[in-house]
Each structure stands twice: as C-alpha cells, then as structure tokens.
C-alpha cells in the first residue's frame, strides 16, 4: 500500500522517509505472524539452514536458493504455517546489501545469527553488524540466538569444542550478553539423515533442537511476548518520529519569530528615518518662513 505524506512534510525529505518507514513497518507488523530472520556473512549457510526448517532442501525444491558464490542479495520471505522465515543477504556484502539486510532486521522478531564453525576469526563487518544490532535493536538480548553452522566441516570433537568456545566468546563480547540459546548445526548431516532415513545422522545434525525452539517461540503461549515487543518497537519508532516533527515545528516557530523581529526592527528603523526626515522638513520650512 502507498502511504500519503502529510503536506507539511513534503519539503522535508528525511522526515518524509522516516514517516513512510514508520507507516510501512506498522502495516507489516500488524499484518504478519512471527518473523524469524537468518543473518550472518555470505556463505555462512543461512539459506540452507532455513530450507531445513521447512524441509525443502532438494535442489529443485529449495525454498531459498543456496550456493557457493554470493547468492542471496535481497531480503526474501517464506510463510510457513503461522511463521514467516526471512532470508537475508550476507552482512559483509556491499554496503547496499547491508542496508537491505537492515530493513529485514527491523521487521523481524527473532534472529538466527549464523556463523561457520571453521571461521574462528570474526570479520570486521560481522563485528560492526553485531554492534549495530546491540546498539539499535530494542530487546536484542531476548531476540538473538547464535547458530554455529557447518559443524561437519571440522574433523574432531576437540576442534569443534575449541572453535565453538572461541566463537561464543567473540559473539558475547560483540553483543554484550550471553545468547539465551546456542545451536550447533550441520545441514549436510540433516539432509543426508532425512534422505537416507538415518535417524542418528539427523540427531547429530543439531537441527531438531533448533526446530523445537522455533516451535516454542511460535506457539500461542509465546505470542503475547513477541506481540508486546513489537508494540514497544513501534511505539518507540513513533515517539522518535513525533520528536523529529516537534523539533521541526519548533524550528518553524522560531524562524517565524525571527522574521517578525527583523521586520519589526526594520519598521522601527524606517519610522526613525521618517521622523528625522520630518524634522529636517520642518526645519527647512521654518527657515523659509523666516525668510518671508
């Protein structure tokens, strides 16, 4: 739906944009069920992970496209039962991709932060992204979980535990809190387990606990919680917009006041000049009279 910009804001591009963003957010949040978004650097396995959550991982039936190169460049959504899954571009993409990812963030309720187990070092762009989450997203500590992905990619349990501990530490330092949940997953094991009916592999994929957690957050008892967080978010966005509009109104008021002051002082100066002129005329007249 297109929203109309109030006429008083039409020549205020930044405010118009903030107003439209608020209206469109409000509409999206009022109309959609719970949104869970996957974020992380490119190739972290975000799209593959979301595909397992809806059990659509066969190449020809993938819910979200996957691949070795940078694949996801736009925010895309998939409705699944009462839930909407949101796939986002890698946070280390172009700054345009990052802004696109950010739009997805602002409209999502929960975030799966996906990080490959082999990537022990975080990239600077990830740290910047996590800091932005921490600074700009309300109640992030109850909305962000860590997903350590591609755990089949390390050969020993020892390496896996060491890498997991380091990744968790860096994550905690970046966001400033311990995630309520950390999931260690392997899409490869899950898909193989499902295709070949190998229950052991499916269990060792770590995907079932993640699915259970999603069932819990999307269950009716949890609904009041995320709906309240949404309302809080919309209210603070509305308050910020109202404060901007108020600041603009005060500026306009002070501009009018200054213009009137200027006009008054010009009028006073004119009046003074006229008086001076009148005195000069009177003096001249008096001199003419005295000559007569």
Residues that bind ligand GTP in the complex, under the rule CB under 6 A: 42-48, 66-68, 70-72, 89-90, 149-150, 152-153, 186-188
CA triple 48-133-36, angle to 5 deg: 40
Binding segment for Mg ion (CB under 5 A), chosen from 38-46, 161-169, 191-199, 206-214, is 38-46
46 vs 233, beta carbon nearer ligand GTP: 46
Residue 11 CA, distance from chain mean position? 26
Contact mark string toward Mg ion, 42..61, x via CB under 5 A = ----xx--------------
Cβ neighbours of residue 49 under 8 Å, at least 6 residues apart?
38, 112, 114, 147, 149, 185, 187
Closest contact distance (angstroms) between CB of 92 and ligand GTP is 9
Cα four-point dihedral sign 1, 239, 88, 149: negative
Candidate residues 25, 51, 52, 72; the one interacting with Mg ion per rule CB under 5 A: 72
End-to-end CA distance of the chain: 86
The residue to which tokens 């997203």 are assigned: 137
Q: Which is nearer to ligand GTP, 65 or 275 (CB)?
A: 65
Residue 83's SS3 state is strand
- Of 5, 54, 71, 245, which lies in the binding site for Mg ion, with binding defined by CB under 5 A? 71
Query: Parallel, antiparallel, or unpaired: how do β-strands 110-116 and 34-39 relate?
Result: parallel
Phi/psi of residue 206, nearest 5 degrees: 75, 0
Residue 67 partner contact from ligand GTP, Mg ion, none using kind-dependent CB cut-offs of 5 to 8 Å: ligand GTP
Q: Judged by CB under 5 A, how many residues of this single chain contact Mg ion?
A: 4
Residue 50 contact partner, candidates Mg ion, ligand GTP, none, CB within 5 to 8 A by sort of partner: none
Q: Taking the complex as a whole, how short is the minimal distance between the CB of residue 161 and Mg ion, in angstroms?
A: 27
**Backbone φ, ψ for residue 154 (5° rounding):** -110, 140
Residue 153 near which of ligand GTP, Mg ion, none (CB within 5-8 Å, type-dependent):
ligand GTP
> Nearest approach, Cβ of 158 to Mg ion (angstroms)?
30
Q: What does R_g of the chain's alpha carbons equal in angstroms? A: 31
Site for Mg ion, rule CB under 5 A: 46-47, 71-72
């Amino acid at each position: 739906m297109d929203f109309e910009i109030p006429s008083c804001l039409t020549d205020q591009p930044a405010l118009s944009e903030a107003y439209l963003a608020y209206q469109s957010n409000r509409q999206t949040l009022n109309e959609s069920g719970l949104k869970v978004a996957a974020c992380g650097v490119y190739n972290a396995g975000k799209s593959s992970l979301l595909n397992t959550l809806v059990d659509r991982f066969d190449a020809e039936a993938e819910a979200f496209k996957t691949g070795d190169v940078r694949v996801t460049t736009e925010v895309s959504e998939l409705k699944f039962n009462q839930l909407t899954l949101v796939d986002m571009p890698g946070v280390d993409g172009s700054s345009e991709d990052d802004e696109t990812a950010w739009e997805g963030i602002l409209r999502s309720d929960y975030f799966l932060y996906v990080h490959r187990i082999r990537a022990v070092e975080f990239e600077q762009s990830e740290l910047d992204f996590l800091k932005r989450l921490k600074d700009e997203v309300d109640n992030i500590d109850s909305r962000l979980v860590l997903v350590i992905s591609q755990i089949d990619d390390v050969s020993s349990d020892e390496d896996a535990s060491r890498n997991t501990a380091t990744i968790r530490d860096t994550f905690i330092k970046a966001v400033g809190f311990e995630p309520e949940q950390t999931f260690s997953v392997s899409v490869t094991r899950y898909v193989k387990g499902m295709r070949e009916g190998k229950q052991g592999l499916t269990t060792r994929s770590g995907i079932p606990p993640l699915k259970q957690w999603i069932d819990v957050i999307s269950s009716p008892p949890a609904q009041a919680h995320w709906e309240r967080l949404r309302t809080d978010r919309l209210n603070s966005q509305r308050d910020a917009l109202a404060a901007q509009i108020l600041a603009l109104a005060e500026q306009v008021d002070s501009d009018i006041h200054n213009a009137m002051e200027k006009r008054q002082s010009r009028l006073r100066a004119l009046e003074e000049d006229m008086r001076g002129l009148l005195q000069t005329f009177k003096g001249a007249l008096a001199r003419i009279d005295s000559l007569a």
